[in-house]
Amino acid sequence: MAKIKLTKGELKRQRDALKQFQRYLPTLQLKKQQLQLEILQQNIILQELKQTVIKRKQSILTWAGLLAEPRVEIRLFLKPEKIITHSKNIAGVDIPVFEKLEFSELDYDLFLMPLWLDAAIGVLREMIVLNKEILTRQSGVDILRQELRVTTQRVNLFEKVKIPWAQENIRLIKIYIGDQMANAVGRSKIAKRKIEELFLEEARV
C-alpha cells in the first residue's frame, strides 16, 4: 500500500475516491452479468447449430456418391457472392451478427444435368450458411469472453483492492487526526493549567 498523507485534505480525497469506486462498481457488476448471460445464450444457439450441421451431414452421406458424377461440377454453385452481417451491442461491446449469404442464381441446362442437382445444391448451400453462422457466432462469443475477462478483472480490482484500500486509508487518517485532536486538547488543558497556576502564584505575591 502506498504511503498516504495524514491530512484532512487527503481524507476528503480518499472519501471522494471511495464514493466514486462504490458508484462505479454496480455498473461493472451489471456489465459482467449481461456478458455472462449473453455468452450462455450464444453457446446454447451454437450447440443447436452444430447439432443441425451433424444431422445434415448424416443425411448427405446417403447420396454423397452422386457428387462424383463427372458431368457435375457442383462447387461452381456453392461459392457465396456476398456475406451480410450487422453489429449488435451487448453491454457496450459490438459483436458481429450473421444475417445471410447470397449466392449467384442457378444457371445451367436442366436437360444436361441430373434431376437431383437442384436439391443437392440447396442442401449444400444450407450447410455452408450454417457453418458461416457458426463461425460468426463463435467470433462474437470470443469477443464477449475477452470483454468478460477484462470486466471481471476490473470488478475484482474495485472489490478487493481499490475499495478496501480507500476504506483503510480513511480509517488510518481518521485515527491520526483523532489522535492529533486529542493531543491538541491535552496540550491545551496543560497550557490552561499552567496559566492558572501562574496566575495563582502571582496572586500570592
DSSP structure string for 126-178: HHHHHHHHHHHHHHHHHHHHHHHHHHHHHHHHIIIIIHHHHHHHHHHHHHHHH
* Residues 135 and 68 sit within 8 Å (Cβ to Cβ): no
Q: Is 70 exceeded by the pLDDT of residue 203?
A: no
Decide if 198 is inside a domain: no
The whole-number pLDDT of residue 194 equals 64
Total number of domains constituting the chain: 1
Q: 64: part of which helix (H) or strand (E)?
A: none
The whole-number pLDDT of residue 59 equals 87
Decide if 202 is inside a domain: no
Q: Is 136 exposed, middle or buried (0-12, 13-18, 19+ CB in 10 A)?
A: middle
Decide if 2 is inside a domain: no
The whole-number pLDDT of residue 183 equals 73
The whole-number pLDDT of residue 111 equals 63
Parent domain of 51: 8-192
Q: What is the mean pLDDT of residues 172-197?
A: 72
Decide if 150 is inside a domain: yes
Decide if 145 is inside a domain: yes
* pLDDT tens string 133-182: 999 999 999 999 999 999 999 999 999 999 999 999 999 999 888 878 77
Q: Amino acid letter at 39?
A: I
Whichever domain contains 181, its CATH number is 1.10.287.3240
Q: Of 193 and 129, which is predicted with more confidence?
A: 129
The whole-number pLDDT of residue 79 equals 87
Decide if 41 is inside a domain: yes
The whole-number pLDDT of residue 73 equals 74
> Is 0.85 topped by the overall pTM?
no
Give the phi and the psi of residue 116 in degrees, each rounded to 5. Answer: -80, -5
* pLDDT tens string 58-111: 988 888 777 777 666 778 788 898 999 999 999 999 999 999 999 988 776 666
Decide if 3 is inside a domain: no
Per the structure block, which three cell numbers stand in for 9?
Answer: 485534505
Note the helical H segments in the chain.
8-61, 117-157, 163-204
